[in-house]
Amino acid sequence: MDETMQMMSMISESAQGPMAGMDMSAMQKCIEACSACEQACTMCAGSMSMEGMGGSAMCMSCAEMCNTMMRMMLRPMPMNEKDMSAMMAMLQATAMMCRACADDCMGMGDSSAAAKMCAQVCMNCADACDAMMASMKPMMAS
């Protein structure tokens, strides 16, 4: 069993309350997408800095946001309605930040391979956050 599967198994085993019904597959995909996005944005910001291009602040903000989202999902904790609402808001904010960063990187045109790759990884992360939110909606109280 690889490390990610072990972590998801540990989170699933310790889940209580609404988190007990969490879609661990969607969570795993979202954690992996956030990790990939953090790395891509960090690399892109470094590349832009070396090439004298602007835009690295957006990439670094996106990297930090993805890191925070990933850490939030990795905390095995009982979740009440307020915790679920906070996680939903954080997922939404992360998806919005990833889309803004992707737009910014795509604005760099064909001049930067790192920016093009970053934009694609950011869109993948935004989609994973959307999927995680969709999987959580049935668990939210009406």
Mean pLDDT throughout 85-106?
95
Which CATH number goes with the domain that contains 61?
Answer: 1.20.1270.360
87 belongs to a structural domain: yes
- What is the domain range of residue 57? 22-72+80-137
127 belongs to a structural domain: yes
7 belongs to a structural domain: no
5 belongs to a structural domain: no
Q: What is the pLDDT of residues 57-84, one digit of tens each?
A: 899 999 999 999 999 988 766 677 788 8
Number of domains in the chain: 1
101 belongs to a structural domain: yes
State whether the Cα torsion 123-42-7-68 is positive or negative. negative
130 belongs to a structural domain: yes
Q: Looking at residue 32, what is its pLDDT?
A: 96
Calpha distance 37→61 (Å, rounded) = 11
98 belongs to a structural domain: yes
State whether the Cα torsion 101-106-109-115 is positive or negative. positive
Calpha distance 112→119 (Å, rounded) = 11
Calpha distance 84→50 (Å, rounded) = 40
The owner of tokens 């990939």 is 36
pLDDT at 44 over 70: yes
13 belongs to a structural domain: no
